[in-house]
Structure 1
Amino acid sequence: MTLPGRSPAHPGPGAGNTRARYRRILRFAAWHLAVIWWFELFLPRIGLARLAERSRSRRMRNFAQRFHALAVELGGLMIKVGQFLSSRLDVLPPEITAELEGLQDEVPPVPFGDVRALAESELGSSLDRVFAWVDETPVAAASLGQAHRARLLPEAAADVAFAGVIVKIQRPGIEAIVDVDLAALRKVGGWLSHIRLVSRRTDMPALVEEFAHTSLEEIDYLHEAAQAERFADEFAHNDAVAVPRIVWERTSRRVLALEDVTAIKITDLEGLRAAGIDPAEVAPAFGAVMFDQLFGSGFFHADPHPGNIFVTPTAQPVAGRPWKLTFIDFGMMGDVPPGTRRGLRKLLIAAASRDGRGLVAAIGEVGVLLPTADTAELERAMTHLFARFGGMGFAELREVDPREFRDFAAEFGDVVRSLPFQLPENFLLIIRAMSLTSGVCSSLDPKFNLWDTVEPYAAQLIREEQGSIVQDVAQHALDAATTAVRLPGRLDGLVTRLEDGSLAVATPRLERQVARLERTARRAISALVFAALLIAGALVRPDDQVLGTVLMSVSVLPLLHGLLAGRRRL
């Protein structure tokens, strides 16, 4: 259960607790994966989909409550997993996101004596000699560390031009806990990789490794300090974005001292209004800053949850507003590769212009859709989606009749499921950042419409892209010339195939529908035979126990036939 390049945890008094933690995480995952399989895969296949639907809300709430309790008790990376789930307002039901939302702030602190000993060991001196004052009550407690207010000694304050600091101190023993949690997550990722429905969409072991890499970076405060300075450099031109300065002389791998920039938490609506700040104005500004990171520089804050963003009132207006956005906690940062960033920019432009075909092309360029995919039906689906729901905000979408969504899913669900989608490795942090951004913006303004922010930003990207129009025209000309050269040979091959009768015409949609009808018919016949044998056995058994038992036992055969004959590979 150790990571490459990491020394194993030494056996000792806590070794048993470590093994118990590992087993407990796996038991939790195994049980709930079994529940999901039973209700979402097995029952629908035997015609009991309505039973699964009726209990779905209760099951989701039960899962969220159980995970909430587990995460708070165990801490470590389980808190991080819960925070990620709570941020997925776009795809997860409110039963889960609402229950796990409290994990953003619900982490019990470590006694100050324990963190003090760790800090003094790291800094090589008593805290009384390093700081003029340290508040023993933490200002914030996170899953991997906690923060305390402190004041620099006069000479140190003179050097950095500020005295108030926040000292982040790593939780004692967190490295061993992270090792155990990552080992458990690797095991769960391995389980999921054997499910075809999951493995064809994403490489779960690779995603877990990406999460592992990010988590290990988070517990290296020297790395976080360097990331904070890089982020500050990226926004040096933008006075509306602030970043705390680092006190390098009081920073080590497990202790980080930085400027105290505490202000109004971005989702503190009452605090914002008391300061004369309209939350509805903060939402688009925050969205624009996040877009700038993801689609501009490509270096982005991957953990922009409400506890990591402040709204800081200013004496003088900045960018026409009497406040600025202050980012903290740079342990989880992401880098978008240039190729992915180009694809994301095209995706944003296509979404803003309601261009279904362009959107599908951009999805392919980003790497979410494999090049071999037949995208004609998906393009039609996206065009239909934009025509009906494009431009709607979250509040408007909530008012749409759920039957419309079900009709859309019924019409295009098979198309989407049949295409070779995948989740690229570097997408985990991008999805997290965008999910948290949409969640924060929606909490600031329930009527917030993401399109209001997307469209002007996309217009800006279009203006920037116009600078490369000559290259685009040249590329199109080259493509046309290549096609013209290859055309005679391709026509000759087509004529040959027509003459010898070997030309085949593929109709994927019709073939899928026929196959689906065949599977349904097989399942229906098997289900009837199964039900007949089972009922007959139940009726006969009171009078003839042997015959009744035989009939009920034999009923398993048509049941298995129905499940296997009608089975689609997961």
Structure 2
Amino acid sequence: MAVLRSYRRFVVVVWQFLPLVWGYLRDRRRFVLFGGKRRVTSEMRVERAQRLLDSLLTLGPTFIKLGQLLSTRPDVLPPEYVDVLSDLQDRVPPADWADARVVLEDELGPVDEAFDDFDTDAISGASLGQVYTAEVDGEPVAVKVRRPGIEDLVEADLRVIKWTLPLVVRFVGEGQAFSLQSLADEFAKTIREEMDYAREAEMLAEIRENFADDPNVVVPSVYEDYSDSRVLTMQYVSGTKISDVEELDRQGIDRSAVAETLERTYLQMIIEDGVFHADPHPGNLAVREDGAVVFYDFGMSGRVDEFVQEKIVDFYVAVANQDIDAILDALVEMGTLSPEADRATMAEVMELAIQDARGESIETYRVQQIVGKVEDTIYEFPLRLPSNLALVLRVATVVEGVCVTLDPDFDFISVATDFLTEQGYREESIKQFATQTAEQFQQSAQSAVRLPQKLDRALDRVEREDLHVRADLEDGNGVVDRLARRIVLGLVLATSVPTTALLYVTADLTATGVSAAFTGAVALALYRSFKKRRGIRTTPQFTRQSLRDRGGD
């Protein structure tokens, strides 16, 4: 029965996405079966992104969550799609109270007996659950109830995504195929975890314990006796929505200080604690009158293993020191940057990113210049996103957006540098650098002693004509393969042209026509081998720059 439902959902999903697929095929071939590529403008992408947004809303909770995740993945979608999908929120009306009550009473028993008071009007209706207010022992609480029947729908949709993915990756490059696979794995894992309220309660309690002594961070407590796998009862903590800057100003709250608290909190979660709240959009963050930041909804939360923590520290230390080579090394070691990427070009990209993070203005001509280098030198998208880092990147990008909303001139690097210095990470990196330098000096001294002996032996072999050189040619981009293909096609064309002329003089028209058709096909293949070029066709977007542009408009 579950598989049959998945088949029905597959048909519905394909029908919804068919116009977008058809448009994409026409982009690759103007008339699908033949013709050159069609030029896709930014306006066309925005229009298609809106159509994608409507399709996701039509398909329901699972695909709304997928759209929210896609909005944080610039390695998968063009920037126009990311911009449109970033506005996607849970636009699902709450389920009927009668249906929600069945779930609640299956877990906790009769509502009137479990709670002193219960407001049956939901204060929040999300894709996977909805939140009500109630009272327990005279204290206000928030009760999160999983949406009725959501488990079967999610499992059916996950099967559809699994069936569809092999078809999609056939039409994209290797880098995007990698990102799509990691995205699918991450999405299946996170949406199942988000439906498990018992896990959410555990994560919430652990994070609350980590910040128990920090007056600037507020995490609601869990009422364990009123919680289960489908119901979560928490302390109700009120506050002003973190993006409501006018109300924060009216209350006299220092928005820059709030932004600093938010970044420091996430740095501690990711670098020190290894467990973090992974959904920091403005609807899940509030500010109390004393300036403390309140965190809601821990359904999307994650853990960071020690290896990733170590590499993230290396990355942040390199950023703090503005050591571009160390930044690129850290990205390669984390698996987010291809080792074959053009380091010189990527270094310039990182310099721009650091300028942007510091709030400095970026010259348009320099951006265009670097984009030109990217298009000329990088033939596969060099940035990749392993699944164990996807949630971390989501947090980083969303937190940046929230902090810029609070303070447009907020300096992320300065705050991160101060945090790393206070925690001793920068001093450790300096000691580690000194130790590595000493080891390298020792190895260099040993090599200098051994080098004359090895050089003498090598020269002896040269004199005896016994020296062999072995060379391996790496061709990750297929340059040699394309060159060989062109040479072969050129040779075939060079012989087929005089052959066709000879047949025209000595043979009948049928043989001449066949030879001419073959010659034309070879000539066309040779022409297309020179014309075909793969590259990145995108316009880089920098958060602060785009914000200033919009503000100017």
The CA distance in 2 between the partners of 1:117 and 1:41, in whole Å, is 53
Give the whole-Å Cα distance in 2 for the aligned partners of 1:346 and 1:111.
50
- 1:22 aligned partner: 10
Instruction: Please list the CA deviations of residues 480-508 of structure 1 after superposition, one character each: whole Å capped at 9, or x if unmatched.
Output: 55566676487579766897786589999
1:215 and 1:491, CA in 2 relative to 1: closer, same or farther beyond 3 A? farther
Asked if residue 106 in structure 1 is aligned to residue 113 in structure 2, the reply is no
After TM superposition, the structure 1 = structure 2 runs for residues 135-150 of structure 1, keeping only pairs within 5 Å, are 135-150=119-134
2:130 partner SS: strand
Task: Look up the match of 2:416.
Answer: 454
Residues 175-219 of structure 1 deviation map (CA, whole Å, 9 limit, x = unaligned): 111112211222333334445723587364454223212211111
Q: Does 1:438 align with 2:438?
A: no
Distance 1:70 1:253, change over 3 A: same
In the other structure, the counterpart of 1:325 is: 293
How far apart, CA to CA, are the structure 1 residues paired with 2:419 and 2:435? 27
Which one of 210, 213, 220 corresponds to residue 189 of structure 2? 213
* Amino acid paired to 2:111: L
Question: Are 1:201 and 1:422, in contact at CA under 8 Å, matched by a contact in 2?
Answer: no
* Distance in 1 (alpha carbons) for counterparts of 2:227 and 2:10: 32
TM-score normalised over the length of structure 1: 0.75
2:330 pairs with 1:362 = yes
Distance in 2 between residues matched to 1:446 and 1:452, nearest whole Å: 15
User: Does 2:27 correspond to 1:39?
Assistant: yes
Deviates more, 1:185-194 or 1:263-272: 185-194
CA shift, 1:559, in A, is 5.1
Q: Within 5 Å, which residues of 2 pair with 1:253-272?
A: 253-272=229-248
Alignment of 1:161-200 (within 5 A): 163-194=139-170, 197-198=173-174
Q: Alpha carbons of 1:464 and 1:455: their partners in 2 closer, same or farther (altered >3 Å)? A: closer
Q: Tell whether the 8 Å contact from 1:149 to 1:164 is kept in structure 2 after alignment.
A: yes
Task: Measure the CA separation in 1 of the matches of 2:454 and 2:477.
Answer: 29
Cα displacement (A) at 1:516? 12
User: Is 1:72 aligned with 2:57?
Assistant: yes
Number of residue pairs matched? Answer: 510
The CA distance in 2 between the partners of 1:112 and 1:250, in whole Å, is 18
Match of 1:400 in 2: 363
SS in 1 for 2:122: coil
- Code of the aligned partner of 1:138: A
Moved more, 189-198 or 63-72: 189-198
> 1:134 & 1:506 partners in 2: Cα distance?
73
The Cα of 1:56 is off from its aligned counterpart by: 2.7
Q: Is the 8 A contact 2:29 2:35 kept in 1?
A: no
Q: 1:292 aligns with which of 268, 273, 277?
A: 268
Structure 2: distance between partners of 1:395 and 1:270 = 22
Q: 2: distance between equivalents of 1:569 and 1:494?
A: 44
Deviations 1:384-410 (A, max 9, x none): 34556632359755x632x53232122
Q: How far off is 1:142 after superposition? A: 1.2
Q: List gaps (5 residues or longer) in structure 1.
A: 1-8, 158-162, 315-322, 526-550
What is the DSSP-based 3-state SS (H/G/I as helix, E as strand, rest coil) of the residue aligned with 2:302? Answer: strand
Q: Is the 8 A contact 1:200 1:420 kept in 2?
A: no
Paired amino acid for 2:47: N
Equivalent position of 1:544 in the other structure: none
1:363-420 Cα offsets, whole Å, 9 max, x none, are 12223346xx357x40x334434556632359755x632x532321222445444687
CA contact (8 A) 1:393 1:449 kept: yes
Change in 2 beyond 3 A, CA 1:282/1:293: same
Task: Call closer, same or farther: CA 1:474–1:274 in 2, change over 3 Å.
Answer: closer
The share of aligned pairs that are identical, in percent, is: 28
Q: Shift in Å at residue 80 of structure 1?
A: 1.3
Report Cα offsets for 1:439-475 as digits up to 9, x if no partner: 22233334444334333334446x3342476565445
- Match of residue 340 from structure 1: 308
Structure 2 residues without counterparts, runs of 5 or longer: 491-515, 536-553
Relative distance call for 1:450 and 1:85 in structure 2 (3 A) is farther
1:222 aligns with 2:198: yes
CA distance in 2, matches of 1:394, 1:517: 43
8 Å CA contact retained: 2:486, 2:526: no
Cα distance in 1, alignment partners of residues 239 and 462 from structure 2? 73
1:514 deviation in Å?
Answer: 8.3
Distance 1:569 1:500, change over 3 A: farther
Query: For the structure 1 residues 477 and 151, does the alpha-carbon distance in structure 2 shift closer, same or farther, using more than 3 Å as the test?
Result: same
Match of 2:355, SS?
coil
Q: Distance in 2 between matches of 1:143 and 1:421?
A: 31
Alpha carbons of structure 1 residues 338 and 150: separation in structure 2 relative to 1, 3 Å: same
Could you report, residue by residue, the CA deviation over 1:140-179 in whole angstroms, capped at 9, with x for unpaired residues? 1111101011112x3xx5xxxxx10010000111111111
| Aligned 8 A contact 1:196 1:569 in 2 | no
Superposition deviation, residue 341 in structure 1 = 1.1
Amino acid at match of 2:71: S
Residue identity matched to 2:348: H
Match of 2:42 among 57, 65, 76: 57
1:507-544 CA-to-partner distances (Å, cap 9, x unmatched) read 999x989879979999xx9xxxxxxxxxxxxxxxxxxx
My pick for the range that moved more, 217-226 or 193-202, is 193-202
Q: Does 1:120 align with 2:105?
A: yes
CA contact (8 A) 1:83 1:101 kept: yes
What is aligned with 2:214?
Answer: 238
Contact 1:87/1:439 (CA < 8 Å) preserved in 2?
no
Q: CA RMSD in A?
A: 4.4
Amino acid at match of 2:406: L
Selected match of 1:313 from 270, 289, 292: 289
Give the counterpart letter for 2:202 in structure 1.
A
Q: Write the distance in 2 (CA, Å) between the matches of 1:416 and 1:71.
A: 33
1:343 Cα deviation (Å)? 0.9
- In structure 2, the residue corresponding to 1:300 is in which secondary structure? strand
> Could you tell me whether the CA contact under 8 Å between 1:201 and 1:423 is conserved in 2?
no
Structure 1 Cα separation of the partners of residues 481 and 93 of structure 2? 52
Which piece of structure 1 moves more, 249-258 or 74-83? Answer: 74-83
Q: 1:92 to 1:237 in 2, by over 3 A?
A: farther
CA gap of 1:392–1:435, structure 2 versus 1, over 3 A, is closer
- How far has the Cα of 1:242 moved from its partner? 0.7
User: The residue matched to 1:276 in structure 2 has which SS?
Assistant: coil
| Alpha-carbon distance in structure 2 between the residues aligned to 1:262 and 1:368 | 39
Supply the distance in 2 between the matched residues of 1:327 and 1:280 (Cα, whole angstroms): 18
Give, as a single letter, the amino acid of the residue that structure 1 aligns with 2:326. G
